[in-house]
Amino acid sequence: MNSLSLTSRLLLLSLLFILIPLISWLLLAKFEKDIERNALTQTEEQAQIMSGFINQLLQTDRSLQQQFLNTNQQKQFPIALKETALLVDGYSDEWYPYQSASTVIRNFGQNASLTLIEDKDFVYGLFEVEDNSIVYRERLDLVGLSDKITLVLGAYQMQFLPMAPGKVPALRQTADGYREVTPVYAVWQERTEGYQLEFRIPQSLVGKTISAEITDIDRAQSGVALQGIYSFTNFESLSLHSRLQSGVLSLLEPEMYRLTLTNNQGEVLYQFGQLHTDIRSNWRNRIWSSATQEKLSDSLLGKKSISSVSLDLAFTGRTQTEVVNSSQLSAFSRVYKPLYSNNQLVGAMILESSPVNEKLQLRDFWLRFLLLLGLVWGLFVWWLVKQSRRYSRRIMELRDLTEGSISEEGQIRYVIDMDEEFDDEVSDLTNSFSLLTNRLKQYHDYQEKLVSRLNHELRTPIAIIRSSLDNINRDSLSEDELQLIDNAQSGAVRMSQTISRLSEANKLEQAIRSADKEPFDMLPVLKDLVLAYRTNWHEHEFELVSDLEEARVLGSKDLFVQMLDKLISNAVDFDNKTRPIQIALKRKDRQLVLSVSNGGPTIARKHLHDVFSLMHSSRKHSNQHLGLGLYVARLIASFHGAKVNAENQIDGTGVTINIVWRNKHFTASP
């Protein structure tokens, strides 16, 4: 954690936003549980009202009584209630929800089905017939054999004899011949295994009975022949089991409740409504559509008879309640209520209610909340990253300015400018560093001027002291007094030399800071210097060691020569002449190293860093050496972007001074 950057820490902190959707999901599950409990309570209340209404209806409606008491359900033809939009076009793709109301018959190895549905205005029907050879009517006068369907609804007998796929008239036989029943609209369409006939008839033309026949004509070698006639009603008129006749449906909303009525044998007499609406119209709800559209294993939809423990308990006169598919989105409430006619238990009412719409609204709100939260979180993270990067950039710039404002020798290169663009904590810190560097600059200038002032102010008093000591009559002094005068003269000389060296160091620092930089190759310079050193110090041996073809650095060639002179002078002073003074230039990893090695005494480990300090000298007789050589070498090395260090040789026979450049300060051939 401590090694993370400011931006990484802020991003890690922003991940806490993930806890919000997790907590909201847990709350969503709790709210859905509450919705299920409320739905069960409301279903119980609605079931109490509906059962009272149906019980009252059973006392007055004999037809309804007969339906509960008559167990022979095969003599009634069911008509389902229209709950979805239909387009009469001859195709069955919109009839899928009503498959449970289909009646199927079989003749000569071929199947045919008839489905009837109704609303308050129309009765809709769909014939699906398997026919391996469709024969159409060729003439308008109805002469000849052709495939046809005869439908009898009450007093109306209609025949559908198509001449081709498409709209087909409903023909009614009268004393004057066949006439088209214009209020009836029908469409005939072919399919792979036969044909389909879809029709719509006004309720005013529909009676209380039904009879339907299919005439199958096939083509033979000798022409066309009758394959057979088969009927959905065994060639009899059956009573229509119309669910609109009870009048109970006006109290229900089909999208919220499903009502099922059974007799004592569990046979379904009446069913209306659907529990789960089509939610695909809302693109957000499609996320949950698979959970609501799945086929429920314990659903009552489309069942002809019901058998369950709860229903058996309802037949004993006790109301039963249960929650089906609990803890799922498709969970719904189910209430079993016994039904009575003249104090006799004749059946049961099953009322089911699904809170899926309320759950979907809740989840839709939750999804909207997540999308809004995601948008806000994205904008917040974008703003957070932008701000953190800006602060990080400003902090790194301040770091670079601070590091560059002070040299390794503690000199102030420049004063950091005040930050007047921003007004925040980083700006305050920048202004604090600006004041600090300004004060250090003033103090450094004071130190530089102090050396000049001391040099100017002390030279005259020192000269007076020296001249006064020189003018003293030494003949009249004792030996001890002469020794005191010699010590005083030596101290005055020493003080004069110290002031001169300090003034020289100060001027050298100023000269180094004002020098210009340009790239140059060190190898030719080193070769020329080695030749010069061999001439100047002929009693010492010098050797140059390098495997590089080129070693270019950015700096001043004159200062570089002066730096190497200081290093060689120091090496000569301590050299014991047991081996050559070695000047080596090598590449080491990603660094360029210039080293000067000599044999002789080693340096105490605690003094390895102090040898480059001002006024430090390791010589036994340092009257003429005030520790400026290596100090000047360090100043010049820093000017060239290099660092200087001293180390004792591994075998303890000498000392090596290293000048080290990093790769960004030099360009050398591989």
Show the CA angle centred on residue 207, arms to residues 201 and 213, nearest 5°: 70
pLDDT > 60? residue 136:
yes
| The predicted structure's pLDDT at residue 584 | 92
24 and 107 co-located in one domain: no
CA 46 – CA 277 distance, rounded (Å)? 20
Pairing of strands 268-272, 581-588: unpaired
Model confidence over 505-516: pLDDT tens digits? Answer: 666 676 676 778
**Residue 135: both structure tokens together:** 């024969």
| The predicted structure's pLDDT at residue 37 | 83
Model confidence over 259-312: pLDDT tens digits? Answer: 888 888 888 877 776 665 444 445 555 555 555 454 444 567 667 788 888 888
pLDDT > 50? residue 135:
yes
Tell me how far CA of residue 244 lies from CA of 240, 274, 524, in angstroms: 11, 16, 114
| The predicted structure's pLDDT at residue 616 | 57
Average pLDDT, the chain: 79
Pairing of strands 332-341, 344-353: antiparallel
Q: Where does a domain end: 454, 486, 510? A: 510
Angle between helix axes 522-536 and 557-574 (nearest 10 degrees) is 40
- pLDDT confidence tier of residue 113, bands split at 50, 70 and 90: very high
Model confidence over 7-22: pLDDT tens digits? Answer: 666 667 667 667 777 7
319 and 451 co-located in one domain: no
**Which H helix or E strand runs over 37?**
helix 19-60
| The predicted structure's pLDDT at residue 506 | 67
Across 131-141, average pLDDT: 86
Q: Does 428 reside within a domain?
A: no
Q: Does 655 reside within a domain?
A: yes
Model confidence over 140-153: pLDDT tens digits? Answer: 777 778 899 999 88
Across 648-663, average pLDDT: 87
| The predicted structure's pLDDT at residue 33 | 82
**CATH classification at residue 261:** 3.30.450.20
229 and 88 co-located in one domain: yes
- For 95, phi then psi, to 5°, come to -100, 5
CA 654 – CA 572 distance, rounded (Å)? 12
Say what percent of the chain tops pLDDT 70: 80
Show the CA angle centred on residue 180, arms to residues 224 and 136, nearest 5°: 20
- pLDDT confidence tier of residue 359, bands split at 50, 70 and 90: confident
**CATH classification at residue 554:** 3.30.565.10
Per-residue H/E/C for 435-492: HHHHHHHHHHHHHHHHHHHHHHHHHHHHHHHHHHHHHCCHHHCCHHHHHHHHHHHHHH
93 and 237 co-located in one domain: yes
- List the domain range (segments joined by +) for residue 487: 441-510
| The predicted structure's pLDDT at residue 88 | 93
| The predicted structure's pLDDT at residue 443 | 74
pLDDT > 50? residue 1:
no
Single-letter amino acid, residue 137? R
| The predicted structure's pLDDT at residue 70 | 67
Select from 362, 278, 319 the least CA-distant residue to 46: 319
| The predicted structure's pLDDT at residue 457 | 67
**Which H helix or E strand runs over 10?**
helix 6-14
- pLDDT confidence tier of residue 324, bands split at 50, 70 and 90: confident
**Residue 461: both structure tokens together:** 């008093």
Model confidence over 28-64: pLDDT tens digits? Answer: 778 878 878 888 888 888 888 888 888 887 777 676 7
The residue with greater pLDDT, 615 or 392, is: 392
37 and 88 co-located in one domain: no
Q: Does 528 reside within a domain?
A: yes
- pLDDT confidence tier of residue 420, bands split at 50, 70 and 90: confident
Say what percent of the chain tops pLDDT 90: 13
| The predicted structure's pLDDT at residue 176 | 75
522 and 491 co-located in one domain: no
- pLDDT confidence tier of residue 666, bands split at 50, 70 and 90: low
Q: Where does a domain end: 387, 405, 423? A: 405
Single-letter amino acid, residue 472? I
pLDDT > 80? residue 134:
yes
Model confidence over 428-445: pLDDT tens digits? Answer: 888 888 888 888 777 777
Q: Which residues, 6 or more positions from 217, have their beta carbon under 8 angstroms from its beta carbon?
A: 133, 135, 145, 146, 147, 224, 225, 226, 227
128 and 187 co-located in one domain: yes
Model confidence over 574-619: pLDDT tens digits? Answer: 888 888 999 999 988 788 999 999 988 888 887 777 777 765 565 5
| The predicted structure's pLDDT at residue 596 | 92
**CATH classification at residue 167:** 2.60.40.1190
144 and 214 co-located in one domain: yes
| The predicted structure's pLDDT at residue 538 | 86
267 and 398 co-located in one domain: yes
Q: Does 448 reside within a domain?
A: yes
Model confidence over 196-208: pLDDT tens digits? Answer: 999 999 988 888 8
Tell me how far CA of residue 271 lies from CA of 37, 48, 129, 242, in angstroms: 24, 18, 26, 11
659 and 547 co-located in one domain: yes
Q: Whole-prediction pTM value?
A: 0.42
Q: Does 432 reside within a domain?
A: no
Could you tell me how many residues make up the chain? Answer: 670
| The predicted structure's pLDDT at residue 250 | 47
Q: Does 341 reside within a domain?
A: yes
Select from 197, 202, 204 the least CA-distant residue to 183: 202
| The predicted structure's pLDDT at residue 43 | 84
For every residue of 180-215, DSSP letters joined together read E-TT-EEEEEEETTEEEEEEEEEGGG--SEEEEEEE
Tell me how far CA of residue 52 lies from CA of 47, 65, 237, 354, in angstroms: 8, 15, 34, 22
Q: Where does a domain end: 355, 379, 405? A: 405
83 and 138 co-located in one domain: yes
Q: Does 415 reside within a domain?
A: no
Q: Does 417 reside within a domain?
A: no
pLDDT > 70? residue 461:
yes
CA 408 – CA 613 distance, rounded (Å)? 12
| The predicted structure's pLDDT at residue 622 | 46
Contact 416, 514 (CB under 8 A): no
Count: domains in the chain:
4
235 and 275 co-located in one domain: no
